[in-house]
Chains A and B, each alone.
Chain A
Amino acid sequence: MHAALFALSWCFSDAEPGPVAGSQSNGDRFKIEGRAIVPGVKTQDWISTARILVEGEEYVGFLKTDGSFAVNDVPSGSYVVEIVSPSFRFDPVRVDITSKGKMRARLVNYIKTSEVIRQPYPLQIRSSGPHTYFMKRETWGWTDFLMNPMVMMMVLPLLIIVLLPKVVNTNDPEMRKEMEQSMNMLNPNPELPDVSEFMTKLFSKGSSKSSGGNKGSRSVAPKRR
């Protein structure tokens, strides 16, 4: 069977997924009102970049200079009202409008869509602070370095090796004997030659000779002086 070669292509006749006509009924149009508050920031500093989006971009509203807003010409239905601003974060609110024009605002819950937790209407949307778009860089500090488990694992044995002999007086013959005993205790079979010992002997044979020679020549040299 030969391989089928099929070049993917683009077709003119396929319809673009255009926006779906929102309102079928020519019924009454209502107005969604509210106010947006950013604590501690003057309205003129952020309102020019903010917009009110109702159900995506289906209805758009703008903020007044005092932070209040009104989205006109909205037919009855249930909408998610969101204030979008590149600098501040606002939580969306769901607004239900009955066919008679009664308004209700509630928390947006996409999972339990029928759950009603009332919010004030006219909307009072308070910003929960600036957006946190950025990740924090990991900064390097001595404490981080020292607290690293790998470093701890390296440093602690080192400390033990260096400090223990100082603490314990090795010159004391009793002590030495005791230590040797304990070492023997650790070594289960004293007759069995220790592998490391064996290896060091094996490798140090040749080198010890030459080093001995070195030592000899060195010890000779000062004598001439």
Chain B
Amino acid sequence: MAWLVVRLAISVSLLYAASAVFEDQVGKFDWRQQFIGKVRFALFDTHSQASKKLLVATDKNVFASLNSRTGDLFWRHVDKTGPEGHIDALLMYGQDAVVVVGNGRLLRSWETTVGGLKWETVLDTGSFQAAALVGVQDLVKYVAVLKKSAISLHDLSSGSQIWVENLPDSDSVQYQTIYSGGNGVVFVLGVVPNSHIVIVEYKIEDGEIMNKKSVEAVWMSSLESSCAVVSSGILLCVDQITQSLYTLPLQSAEQTEMRQIHLQMLDLEVVSGFRPVLTSTQPNPAQPPLSEFFLQLSPDHHILLQFIDGLIAPLRDFNPSYLAAFATSGERTVAAVMSPKNDTACSINLFSADTGRRHLDTTIIYHMDPNGGKPNRLYVHAFLKKDDSVGYRVMVQTEDLTLTFLQQPGRVVWMREEALADVVTMEMVDLPFTGTQAELEGEFGKKAAIQDGLLPMVLKRLSSQFILLQAWLAHLWKLFYDARKPHSSVKNDVTIDILSRDEFNLQKMMLMVTASGKLFGIDSKSGTILWKQYLENIQPNSVFKLIVQRTTAHFPHPPQCTLLIKNKDTGLGSLYVFNPIFGKKSQISVPALPRPVIQTLLLPVIDQDYAKVLLLIDDQYKVTAFPSTKNVLQQLQDTASSIFFYLVDSSQGKLSGFRLRKDLSTELIWEVVIPTEVQEIVAVKGKRANEHVHSQGRVMGDRSVLYKYLNPNLLAVITESTDTHQERSFVGIFLIDGVTGRIVHEAVQRKARGPVHFVHSENWVVYVYWNSKFRRNEFSVLELFEGAELYNSTVFSSLDRPYAPQVLQQSYIFPAPINTLEATLTEKGITSRHLLVGLPSGNILSLPKMFLDPRRPELVSEQSREENLIPYAPEMPIREEWFINYNQTVSRVRGIYTAPSGLESTCLVVAYGLDIYQTRVFPSKQFDVLKDDYDYILISSVLFGLFFATMISKRLAEVKLLNRAWR
């Protein structure tokens, strides 16, 4: 009995120790990269010259402060996803940044050095239009927020509301912009499309309407971007139809008509179909804007104009020019203009805003990435140099969401790939062998062996061994060489050319597909981006599926990946075939997909070039094979009768199974209808194709075996009730055989609702749902067993399964909300499994599957102890040691990708969301390699000690014998 207790104690301690991180392992094989998303607003801190802060607000509802020298994050605040966390406006004054959030719902002021909130106020409902800082007598004191029907003024230091006023006639007038020149009044500008402009003047002190006027403007549809306020309160608008500029002094009471200035008079013309854009600058909110402004006439034509005494004079014409922006440092305002230089580079030049004269020696050359997109935003940081001239740095954002920070004369200071903030899907591909390894492979290729005789083979063998020796010596030399260098300089750049598969296949190529249509190849060991490819013309609502058709195992055939891009609305898809190691587009001809694709299927059938066959099924159930060579079609004909696939139509609640016919048409075999009035299908998952199950059964306490029900065709279907009332809502799970359509098991969780996260693997399904009665998350595990005997132990066939499996189920309370769920995966499936749970706090919990075992007994018996079953406890433990990413939290974790490595004990894990985190986990500890803390010194000292002890004792024994002989 005592022995048993000891054993239990040992096993439990082992279990708790499993998959924890040691402090000295930090950063050894894991890395994290933090992202912010597509920048919507970016402001440089011009408060002090030495400031390195760059404040950004992005479309991912992230507000962050970047170090403009390195591109690293000082701090980052991640708000709620969706419209409620959407950042509408970002204003900055001094150390404070004012942010309008959630369609004008919240007004927040941030302390930018610390990254803490100063104040937060709730605004009245109403859709947000504009916000502006308001100054009085050279001091910025207030912030004004314009809503659809009201304007409010808030104190900048406390956030308290000074006044709020309803806008007159707000149901007919669209109020769109706000302007204050620092003279005690705030102007609110509204428009009645194709009729007139409304200008309301509010007194800053009490919100009293000082003046209200309407000015006729039949041509105007919207104030935004086509209008700007320049000089001392002159409203300036541009219209492409009448090809004219219109001016109107805001304050004058007598002028009731906008003055028209034909663009022709300035020798200008707006390109037809282009909406011209006016850009003015107001360096200090307490003072009126400058009289200079940019007018964009076509996508690559800007002109700098000046408004003086009611006249508009061109200062400088920039033709061609992509982007233009103003920047102010101290008293001086400059304009930076990006113009094309040649096909691959752009030049950015600085011009003084008031004269349009070019500053000498201010050219920055910006090299465009040939695999990237065009630049579309320019942010300029101007500063005064010691000699009082203006220096500047620029940040360029491109279509593919690359942020590049440049300084003169074109040095890239840093670069951020913000497309990675929205990874949609990913895969991991083995790295190829090096040249020498490939040489060896070639030697034992099939063809070579037949052609050559015995002697050439021997010679070949010797030569390849020699090459290996050479490579090893070179490696040793490099090690020696690196060891002499200081540590920091050894961390050299990783390039594709030197990458090769390591001994245990721990280093892989991560392929990441992002929502913006940019593909990345990332080295999993260091996180270095090895290649990137921007696919143009990707619709924003596209769905991606990445398929590895040929791995690196088939030298000399290059590996091949296929990306299926599908438009969510039309369903039309296209294929993009590329080499995953180098990112190059493959020259293979791709089948045209004229009809919407509804299902894809990667078959284990390979063509003569070792590429797996991909079947694409369109909405008429026609099948397209890719590649579709003769060989493939022949193979498909042979195996057609055993190829089945399923389709899900969640709108009709229909699951249907099809079989492939010899002529590549399909026939319907089964159909399961889940009535949509009651419940709807939320998710369907099969098992992972690359999953291995090592043991067929489990050994029980009485030494009998409980065999697992390992049906590779099993589908787990999750449904949610359409009735969302908390008493009547439920979550259902169906286990359906994908070949026969037989419902193997069905379970319902009452008083539960989604979101449901689940993992389907081996013979179990684990799912998480929200228990709406007790307001908590619950885990439920289903395990399927065949029983004490296997029906057919050699082959599994869905068509020949007379006995239903035994199903065991148990549920547990999980004391935290959940973002995502995945299971670890290893090479041979010997290692015990862990569940990886992504939590909203950003931690990734590695939960042993042992805790989710439906055979956990309520009462401990001798047999359950023998089996190492943990007694049932309703609440699942969460230990901080189980967080595999310690303090490297992953914000908004959306997916976890697991891949086996060459070591059975090790599973590679990538968690992605707003950030990307890569690590290795060892669910059963590192049983196949020496531990990190293996005590080499102790072992070797003991060995040497023993060796010397034997030597000495031998000598002593000899002496003793000799002495005895003398006696």
Binding site for B on A (CB under 8 A): 1-20, 24, 29, 31, 43-44, 47-49, 51, 53, 55-60, 62-65, 69-70, 72-73, 78, 80, 82, 84, 86-87, 89, 108, 110-111, 113, 131-138, 140, 215, 218-219, 222
Contact assessment for B118 and A134 in the assembled complex, using a CB-CB cutoff below 8 Å: no
B438 CB → nearest A CB, Å:
30
Closest residue of A by beta carbon distance from B21: A134
Contact assessment for A12 and B598 in the assembled complex, using a CB-CB cutoff below 8 Å: yes
Closest residue of B by beta carbon distance from A132: B880
Chain B positions within 8 Å of A78 at CB level? 775
Most buried by B among A12, A29, A59, A84: A12
Contact assessment for A137 and B683 in the assembled complex, using a CB-CB cutoff below 8 Å: no
Q: Of B77, B641, B774, B800, which contacts A62 at CB under 8 A?
A: B77
Contact assessment for A222 and B966 in the assembled complex, using a CB-CB cutoff below 8 Å: yes
In the complex, what distance in Å separates the CA atom of A194 from the CA atom of B86?
A: 93
Contact assessment for A12 and B754 in the assembled complex, using a CB-CB cutoff below 8 Å: no
Contact assessment for B965 and A9 in the assembled complex, using a CB-CB cutoff below 8 Å: no
Chain A positions within 8 Å of B642 at CB level? 2-5
Known: A18-B755, A60-B79, A137-B24. A9 touches B600 (CB 8 A): yes
Contact assessment for A53 and B841 in the assembled complex, using a CB-CB cutoff below 8 Å: yes
In the complex, what distance in Å separates the CA atom of A3 from the CA atom of B712?
A: 11
Contact assessment for A8 and B77 in the assembled complex, using a CB-CB cutoff below 8 Å: no
Contact assessment for B117 and A132 in the assembled complex, using a CB-CB cutoff below 8 Å: no
In the complex, what distance in Å separates the CA atom of A78 from the CA atom of B17?
A: 36
Provide 21 A-B residue pairs closer than 8 Å at the C-beta atoms, listed in order of the A residue: A2-B797, A5-B639, A5-B642, A8-B689, A9-B686, A10-B599, A12-B597, A13-B651, A15-B683, A17-B683, A48-B77, A48-B115, A56-B818, A63-B116, A72-B106, A73-B84, A73-B122, A89-B880, A131-B886, A137-B22, A138-B933
Contact assessment for A64 and B117 in the assembled complex, using a CB-CB cutoff below 8 Å: yes
- Among B184-192, B601-609, B803-811, B828-836, the stretch that binds chain A is B601-609
Q: Of B105, B571, B599, B604, which contacts A73 at CB under 8 A?
A: B105
In the complex, what distance in Å separates the CA atom of A24 from the CA atom of B683?
A: 24
Chain A positions within 8 Å of B77 at CB level? 48, 51, 62
Task: Bin chain B's interface residue count.
Answer: 35 or more
Most buried by B among A1, A44, A110: A110
A42 CB → nearest B CB, Å:
10
A205 CB → nearest B CB, Å:
20
Chain B positions within 8 Å of A62 at CB level? 77, 108, 116-117, 120
Most buried by B among A48, A140, A222: A48
Task: Say yes or no for B681: interface residue by CB 8 A criterion.
Answer: yes
Contact assessment for A65 and B21 in the assembled complex, using a CB-CB cutoff below 8 Å: no
User: How does the 8 Å CB contact mask read for B617-659 relative to A, with 1 for contact and 0 for none?
Assistant: 0000000000000000000000101111111111100000000
Q: Of B120, B649, B798, B886, which contacts A70 at CB under 8 A?
A: B120
Contact assessment for A14 and B689 in the assembled complex, using a CB-CB cutoff below 8 Å: no
Task: Say yes or no for B684: interface residue by CB 8 A criterion.
Answer: yes
In the complex, what distance in Å separates the CA atom of A131 from the CA atom of B880?
A: 7
In the complex, what distance in Å separates the CA atom of A64 from the CA atom of B754?
A: 33
Chain A positions within 8 Å of B82 at CB level? 19
Task: Say yes or no for B856: interface residue by CB 8 A criterion.
Answer: no
The residues in B between 903 and 926 inclusive whose CB is less than 8 angstroms from any CB of A are none
In the complex, what distance in Å separates the CA atom of A19 from the CA atom of B818?
A: 12
Known: A4-B797, A53-B841, A56-B817. A47 touches B20 (CB 8 A): no
Q: Of A13, A47, A60, which contacts B647 at CB under 8 A?
A: A13
Contact assessment for A65 and B116 in the assembled complex, using a CB-CB cutoff below 8 Å: yes
In the complex, what distance in Å separates the CA atom of A49 from the CA atom of B75?
A: 7
In the complex, what distance in Å separates the CA atom of A70 from the CA atom of B122?
A: 11
Contact assessment for B650 and A13 in the assembled complex, using a CB-CB cutoff below 8 Å: yes
Contact assessment for B887 and A14 in the assembled complex, using a CB-CB cutoff below 8 Å: no
Chain B positions within 8 Å of A9 at CB level? 599-602, 645-646, 686
Task: Say yes or no for B80: interface residue by CB 8 A criterion.
Answer: yes
Known: A14-B650, A64-B116. A3 touches B795 (CB 8 A): yes
Task: Say yes or no for B799: interface residue by CB 8 A criterion.
Answer: yes
B869 CB → nearest A CB, Å:
21
Task: Say yes or no for B78: interface residue by CB 8 A criterion.
Answer: yes
B541 CB → nearest A CB, Å:
12
Contact assessment for B120 and A57 in the assembled complex, using a CB-CB cutoff below 8 Å: no
Chain A positions within 8 Å of B22 at CB level? 134-137
Contact assessment for B23 and A6 in the assembled complex, using a CB-CB cutoff below 8 Å: no
Contact assessment for B840 and A15 in the assembled complex, using a CB-CB cutoff below 8 Å: no
Known: A4-B798, A17-B683, A44-B114. A10 touches B755 (CB 8 A): no
Contact assessment for A11 and B115 in the assembled complex, using a CB-CB cutoff below 8 Å: no
Closest residue of B by beta carbon distance from A84: B841
Chain B positions within 8 Å of A49 at CB level? 75
Known: A3-B642, A113-B774, A132-B880. A63 touches B117 (CB 8 A): yes
User: How does the 8 Å CB contact mask read for B530-568 relative to A, with 1 for contact and 0 for none?
Assistant: 000000000000010100000000000000000000100
Q: How many A-B pairs fall under 8 Å by CB? A: 224
The residues in B between 923 and 962 inclusive whose CB is less than 8 angstroms from any CB of A are 933, 935, 938
In the complex, what distance in Å separates the CA atom of A62 from the CA atom of B115?
A: 10
The residues in B between 16 and 42 inclusive whose CB is less than 8 angstroms from any CB of A are 17, 20-24
Task: Say yes or no for B813: interface residue by CB 8 A criterion.
Answer: yes
Chain B positions within 8 Å of A31 at CB level? 122
In the complex, what distance in Å separates the CA atom of A131 from the CA atom of B724?
A: 38
Contact assessment for B813 and A14 in the assembled complex, using a CB-CB cutoff below 8 Å: no
Chain B positions within 8 Å of A56 at CB level? 817-819, 840
Closest residue of B by beta carbon distance from A45: B114
Contact assessment for A11 and B841 in the assembled complex, using a CB-CB cutoff below 8 Å: no
Most buried by B among A3, A44, A80, A218: A3
Contact assessment for A4 and B598 in the assembled complex, using a CB-CB cutoff below 8 Å: no
Chain B positions within 8 Å of A12 at CB level? 543, 566, 571, 597-599
Knowing that A43-B116, A48-B116, A60-B79 touch, tell me 13 more A-B residue pairs with CB under 8 angstroms.
A2-B641, A2-B642, A6-B644, A6-B645, A9-B601, A13-B647, A14-B650, A47-B116, A48-B115, A53-B841, A80-B817, A113-B774, A215-B965
Contact assessment for A65 and B755 in the assembled complex, using a CB-CB cutoff below 8 Å: no
Chain B positions within 8 Å of A135 at CB level? 17, 20-22, 881
Closest residue of A by beta carbon distance from B756: A17
A144 CB → nearest B CB, Å:
12
Task: Say yes or no for B162: interface residue by CB 8 A criterion.
Answer: no
Chain A positions within 8 Å of B795 at CB level? 3
Contact assessment for B842 and A84 in the assembled complex, using a CB-CB cutoff below 8 Å: yes
Closest residue of B by beta carbon distance from A9: B601
In the complex, what distance in Å separates the CA atom of A7 from the CA atom of B689?
A: 8
Chain A positions within 8 Å of B566 at CB level? 12
Contact assessment for A20 and B79 in the assembled complex, using a CB-CB cutoff below 8 Å: no
Q: Of B604, B643, B687, B886, which contacts A133 at CB under 8 A?
A: B886
Closest residue of A by beta carbon distance from B601: A9
Contact assessment for A4 and B886 in the assembled complex, using a CB-CB cutoff below 8 Å: no
Chain B positions within 8 Å of A18 at CB level? 755
In the complex, what distance in Å separates the CA atom of A64 from the CA atom of B935?
A: 48
Chain B positions within 8 Å of A113 at CB level? 774-776
B28 CB → nearest A CB, Å:
13
Known: A3-B797, A12-B566. A134 touches B122 (CB 8 A): no
The residues in B between 856 and 890 inclusive whose CB is less than 8 angstroms from any CB of A are 874-875, 880-881, 883, 886-889
Task: Say yes or no for B500: interface residue by CB 8 A criterion.
Answer: no
Contact assessment for A53 and B840 in the assembled complex, using a CB-CB cutoff below 8 Å: yes
Contact assessment for A60 and B755 in the assembled complex, using a CB-CB cutoff below 8 Å: no
Known: A57-B80, A65-B114. A86 touches B639 (CB 8 A): no
Q: Of B683, B756, B796, which contacts A3 at CB under 8 A?
A: B796
Closest residue of B by beta carbon distance from A1: B800
A32 CB → nearest B CB, Å:
12
Task: Say yes or no for B738: interface residue by CB 8 A criterion.
Answer: yes
Task: Say yes or no for B456: interface residue by CB 8 A criterion.
Answer: no
Task: Say yes or no for B815: interface residue by CB 8 A criterion.
Answer: yes
User: How does the 8 Å CB contact mask read for B565-602 relative to A, with 1 for contact and 0 for none?
Assistant: 01000010000000000000000000000000111111
In the complex, what distance in Å separates the CA atom of A138 from the CA atom of B111?
A: 44
Chain A positions within 8 Å of B119 at CB level? 64
Chain A positions within 8 Å of B602 at CB level? 7, 9
Contact assessment for B840 and A6 in the assembled complex, using a CB-CB cutoff below 8 Å: no
Contact assessment for B774 and A110 in the assembled complex, using a CB-CB cutoff below 8 Å: yes
